[in-house]
Amino acid sequence: MGSVNVPGGKVDAALSGASGQGLTGSLGTDLSGSMGSFSGGVTVGPNGNVNGNAMGSVNVPGGTVDASLSGASGQGLTGSFGTDLSGSAGSLTAGVTVGPGGSFSGSGSGSVNLPGGGSLSGSVSSNGQGSIGANIGGVNLNVGLGGGSGYRLRFRITGWFRNEYRIGKRVRVWYTSVNADVSTNVNRRTKRLETTDAKHGSNQRCINNSEAVPKDEKPEYNWTDVTEEFVAASRDLHLGELYHDSMFGLFEAMSAIEMMDPKMDAGMLCNQIQRKVLNFEQAVEAGDVKINNLSHSELIGVMDASMACLVTWLEGHSLAQTVFTNLYLHNPYVIEDRSLKAFSICMLKIVDHIRDRVNRAGVFEEEDFQSMTYGFKMADQVTDIRATGMLKEVEDDMNRILKITRSKPGEDRDQQTEIEHEQTNAVYCRLKFYRLFFTMLLAFNKEKCEGIEQAQKLILQLLDLLPVINNTVHMGIVPDDKEVGKNDYPTIMGFEPLVNQRLLPPTFPRYTVIRSRGEALYHIEGLLHRLQMVTTVPQMTSFQTILEAFKEFSKYSPCVLSRSILQLTFLPQNKRVFGKTSMVDFLKDAARGFAAPPVLYQKSPLYNNAQIKGYVDAWFMQAVRPFSNLIHITGHNRARQRDKWGQVLEEMSTLQEEGDKVDAYIHGILIKQEPSRSHMACLSGWVLYHTIQAMIQYVLAGFELELYADFEYHYIYWYLYEMLYPWLINALHRADNFLLDHETMADNQQKGRSNKKNRKKKRTRTLNKEITLAQAEQSMFGGYYKAVTGFRLDGKMKPPNFRFDKEDVRYTHRFHPFTSVSTPPCVQYLQYKDMSDMNRYEAEASALNLYAASCKCFQQAKQIYESMIVHTDEANSKELNALLKVAKTNLIVMRLLMDGHKKESDVSCYCGIACYSRTLPSATMDVFYIIMHLSSPTTLKTRPSIAIFCLKMMISMLFETMIIRNFGDRSSDLHNGKKYTFPISF
């Protein structure tokens, strides 16, 4: 089953084979949309084997999945269940059954994501080994084990869950609320161990702040000290010998965390703190934490510190170590101070809302965002309206005080009143800020983007409040000046960094450094500006502009919250574009804009052909997923995008092939009616364009992530210059012809009515701009490619002495994702070698010739950019100017090289960068430009490391040679890019 899309339906699929045969196949199902159910099974007879994914990927928000993989004796099963039940409550049952002597490898459920509660049960039964990995938030996990022995279970558990562990009739139940990797070996001996456990009934654990689960009931132990015996016994082992069970080996041992190693043992450090850590109730009782009569400066301090915690959380740290170091948030209901209570509740609401948004958008990875709540309550008894209402009430009170203390004409205020007025104002602004902030977040969540305008206004108000808050940060109480430890740091009243130490996951410790209050506000300001950008998105109409805008947005490395809100604004929960248009209609519009497929126009005779309509609609349905993915990818953090661009190619390629078939069918019919027109590769051409764009993104992301070694540049540039850009230009040309066809058609139809002048009118829609831009970029990459090849011939860039890898291994690896795409075909290494062979074209390829050719390419790019700048508006010309500058400077270097300046060089160096450093500083700078060829200045901004490096190099060169050429303007360029300073040391 290639792919099934059944919103709100039911799928039942089975793949079964008789004895002695092999099955290879995959069941991939997308049940997105609404509640659906899926059950798929793979059954293989004896001696058969299954290879592949039983369920490639199943997406069932709010549905049920039932899948099983079973085989008879003597066979091997390999498969994986990958299931994403994100969204709401769902359940998954996956079973793998293997007969005696068979083996199962792979994971029972590759990754299961059930954030909204639900239940998961999986089973592995075999005589071999199997493992089930599941990631569950607040759900039940049942793992049933059939007969036999020798299993290894591995769970990754997050959140609350009831764990049931069954062997035959014996059941063991325990509760955990951890983020843990639990791995258990089950074999004959442990079975006996379980028997003992079963005697104790259940073995339950829970964390302190939940009433729902029964309290501690540990098994009783009867400890006997065996230290001496153990030491003596272990002496019997040989050096290097590990004494272990047959089921436990070096591999397992590797995944153990090492105690007492500060890099791995988080508990070691918190244990070193000698002072007593109090929880909220204890602290209130002890009088350490006030819940009433807080002074203004205390309020300001608590609020600002909370903000700092919130920001730190948004930067990827865990809630327990950030927001919930604030004791007030553990139970805001007992706070008597009204302002603080309202603030605390609102803070919880904000945290909960953000968590929900980010979870839904799903554009985060573990390094971006920690969504675990550790069982903390998020003030869910209070409605959103009540929460803002509470803040409004205290705000009004504050306002009254403000009016009293305000300076009136002709009356001298005493200093006391003046200070009180200022402080009250500071508290007032903060309360207002949090209320508006929460309202603003809620506004983004309104249906059909109806809240966007309101959000826009709120953002402006919030930005007005920020300076006031910034200027009053100093009024808040500050922590004592104490020694700062890695885990423990001094805080103000109400904050306890160590209160949640027991909730730390058993991973290696991550030190959470809470942001300073000033930094937090700076972050929030940035967030507000980014959200301001988000509000402009709903005005965009075409897929193309939106995709471009999203890519542009991503270049600023936005935070996870703004990325999530952007994604949800475009495609909210109902999966309609901006909550209004269906994705299918939106994509049809996009296709019309790109190549004007005749089949999508009412005037075309094809439009009403029922069969064609059926095919086209089905194809567009299929296109929804990959195209939503394109948008989704841009929402991920910069580092993750490369992988995702690579992954999306397979889907795009399938869609393209399907599109080809649809096109061919339509073409067959169209040619009979209108012999002059064509439909070949019309729909698929549109997909091809986006596929190539994704490929280019993939390759360019490698530059940004600094993945390529300099000796790899030549084939990377070659691929862009000779493969991707020519294909892109070709795809654009074809599409442009379709657009032209369409306009001539429309003109012809109008001819009766219109006069002659109209015939000469300028084309309204054309892809000329895209084509020229692509041509310019191709020329640039051609220039780089030829320059780098020249360096290589010249011996300036030496290929390393490969010891463990070869160039073709690297090459194959670099372009590996492209193998899944059929058009454009992936160029294999040998093909590349063949195609890029210099001797094929010229009798003698010399470095000088190559520099000349490179020169020509940059010249071409320069001309194109210059001509484009004339026709573009202000906003775009900035980027074009930057590109032009790169082209120009590179042109100059290549000219210098062509004229033979290199001969003065006596230093051969490890790469093109430094090869002219002794003799020709300006040329070196320009070679920098070549290497940092990535076109836009924003890239420069995002890569301070390179910029710093370049600047340092330049300065050291200048120091050596005392030649100041071209330095001023370019260094200032780098300076403008980023606000940083670096120590200049010689």
Partner 1 sequence: MRGTDENDENWYLTNKNQFTARQEADSATESEGKKKLSKWLNKSMKIQMTDGRTLIGVFLCTDRDRNVILGSCEEYLRPPGTGEKEEPRMLGLAMIPGHHIVSISVDKSQQEAQDVA
Q: Which of 14, 18, 242, 664 binds partner 1 (CB under 8 A)?
A: 242
Distance of closest approach, residue 173 Cβ to partner 1, in angstroms: 14
Residue selected from 18, 233, 460, 964 as contacting partner 1 according to rule CB under 8 A: 233
Residue selected from 250, 610, 843, 875 as contacting partner 1 according to rule CB under 8 A = 250
Q: What angle, rounded to 10 degrees, do the helices at 610-635 and 638-673 form? A: 160
Is residue 226 within the footprint of partner 1 (CB under 8 A)?
yes
- Name the strand (E) or helix (H) holding 470: helix 452-472
Residues 461, 467, 473: CA angle, nearest 5 degrees: 125
In this structure, is the dihedral angle defined by the CA atoms of residues 406, 409, 413 and 419, taken in order, positive or negative?
positive
Distances, alpha carbon 767 to alpha carbons 522, 732, 772, 883, 979, in Å: 41, 7, 9, 20, 38
Q: Does 195 bind partner 1 (CB under 8 A)?
A: yes
Binding mask of the shown chain, residues 444 to 483, with x at each position contacting partner 1 by CB under 8 A: ----------------------------------------
Taking the complex as a whole, the smallest distance from the CB of residue 174 to partner 1 amounts, in Å, to: 10
Rule CB under 8 A: is residue 220 a binding residue for partner 1?
Answer: yes
Smallest separation, CB 206 to partner 1 (Å): 8
- Name the residue nearer to partner 1 (CB basis): 253 or 286: 253
Candidates 60-68, 72-80, 241-249, 736-744; binding stretch for partner 1 (CB under 8 A): 241-249
Which residue of 502, 759, 975, 978 would you call a contact of partner 1, by CB under 8 A? 502
Distance CA 620, CA 245 (A): 56
Q: Which two tokens stand for residue 939?
A: 């890239």
Q: How far is the CB of 98 from partner 1 (least distance, A)?
A: 24
Cα-based torsion angle of the residue sequence 503, 507, 509, 510 in order, rounded to the nearest 10 degrees:
-90
Nearest to 973 by CA among 946, 945, 947: 947
Least separation in angstroms between CB 424 and partner 1: 42
Q: Which of 169, 234, 602, 753 lies at the binding interface for partner 1 (CB under 8 A)?
A: 234
Nearer to partner 1, 182 or 584 (CB): 182
Alpha-carbon distance of 354 to 630, in angstroms, equals: 24
Structure tokens at 44: 């293989």
830 is written with which tokens? 């040998």
Q: Which two tokens stand for residue 818?
A: 């492209």
Distance from C-alpha of 515 to C-alpha of 321, rounded to nearest angstrom: 12
Q: Nearer to partner 1 by C-beta: 226 or 830?
A: 226
Residue 171 to residues 131, 156, 177, Cα–Cα distance (Å): 19, 20, 20
Taking contact as CB under 8 A, which single stretch among the options 172-180, 456-464, 708-716, 847-855 is the one that binds partner 1?
172-180
The stretch among 14-22, 46-54, 232-240, 710-718 that binds partner 1 (CB under 8 A) is 232-240
Give how many residues touch partner 1 by CB under 8 A.
66
Contact 734, 681 (CB under 8 A): yes
Q: Which one of the spans 110-118, 182-190, 826-834, 837-845 is the region binding partner 1 (CB under 8 A)?
A: 182-190
Show the binding pattern over residues 371-410: x = contacts partner 1 (CB under 8 A), - = does not.
----------------------------------------
**Token digits of residue 807:** 């160039």
CA-to-CA dists, residue 243 to 236, 249, 250, 255, 958, angstroms? 10, 9, 11, 17, 64
- Tell me whether strands 64-71 and 37-44 are parallel, antiparallel or unpaired: parallel
Helices (H), 362-450: 384-405, 415-444
Binding mask 251-280 for partner 1 (x = CB under 8 A): -xxxxxxxxxx-----xx--xx--------
Q: Which is nearer to partner 1, 238 or 753 (by Cβ)?
A: 238
Residue 824 CB partners (closer than 8 Å, separation 6+): 688, 692, 695, 723, 724, 727
CB closer to partner 1 out of 247 and 740: 247
Nearer to partner 1, 502 or 761 (CB): 502
The verdict on 196 binding partner 1 (CB under 8 A) reads yes
The Cα–Cα gap between 525 and 519 comes to 10
User: Cβ 82 to partner 1, closest distance in Å?
Assistant: 23
Q: Which stretch binds partner 1 (CB under 8 A): 228-236, 518-526, 903-911, 950-958?
A: 228-236
Task: Estimate the crossing angle of helix 452-472 against helix 415-444, to 10 degrees.
Answer: 150
| Token reading at 29 | 């199902």
Residue in 16, 24, 73, 208 binding partner 1, rule: CB under 8 A: 208
Least distance CB 240 / partner 1 (angstroms):
5
Distance in angstroms (rounded) separating the CA atoms of residues 514 and 520: 9
Q: How far is the CB of 180 from partner 1 (least distance, A)?
A: 5
Structure tokens belonging to residue 979: 């606000």
Backbone angles phi, psi at 782, to 5 degrees: -60, -45
State the Cα–Cα distance between residues 764 and 978, nearest whole angstrom.
40
- In the complex with partner 1, which residue's Cβ is closer, 164 or 879? 164
Closest CB to partner 1 among residues 142, 966:
142
Mapped onto helix, strand or coil, the DSSP state of residue 417 is helix
Do residues 950 and 932 make contact, with C-beta atoms less than 8 angstroms apart?
yes
Confirm or reject binding of residue 212 to partner 1 (CB under 8 A).
Answer: no
> What are residue 968's phi and psi, to 5 degrees?
-50, -60
Among 169, 235, 756, 979, binds partner 1 (CB under 8 A): 235
Query: Does residue 799 have a cis bond before it (omega within 30 degrees)?
Result: no
Min. distance of Cβ 132 from partner 1 in angstroms?
Answer: 15
Which stretch, 28-36, 195-203, 292-300, 448-456, contacts partner 1 (CB under 8 A)? Answer: 195-203
What is the rounded CA–CA span in Å between residue 32 and residue 41?
Answer: 20
Binding flag, residue 610, partner 1 (CB under 8 A): no
Q: Give the nearer residue to partner 1 in terms of CB position, either 187 or 541.
A: 187
Question: Does residue 733 interact with partner 1 by CB under 8 A?
Answer: no
Provide φ and ψ at 114, rounded to 5°: -125, 70
Q: Which is nearer to partner 1, 250 or 843 (CB)?
A: 250
Distances (CA, A) of 530 to 10, 315, 517, 527: 41, 15, 20, 5
CB closer to partner 1, 254 vs 875:
254
Task: Select the span of 105-113, 222-230, 556-564, 616-624 touching partner 1 (CB under 8 A).
Answer: 222-230
Of 388 and 500, which has the nearer Cβ to partner 1? 500
Supply 5's token pair. Answer: 């899309």
Q: Please report, as ranges, the residues that interact with partner 1 according to CB under 8 A.
A: 176, 178, 180-185, 187, 189-190, 192-193, 195-196, 199, 205, 207-208, 216, 218, 220-227, 229-245, 248, 250, 252-261, 267-268, 271-272, 502-504, 506
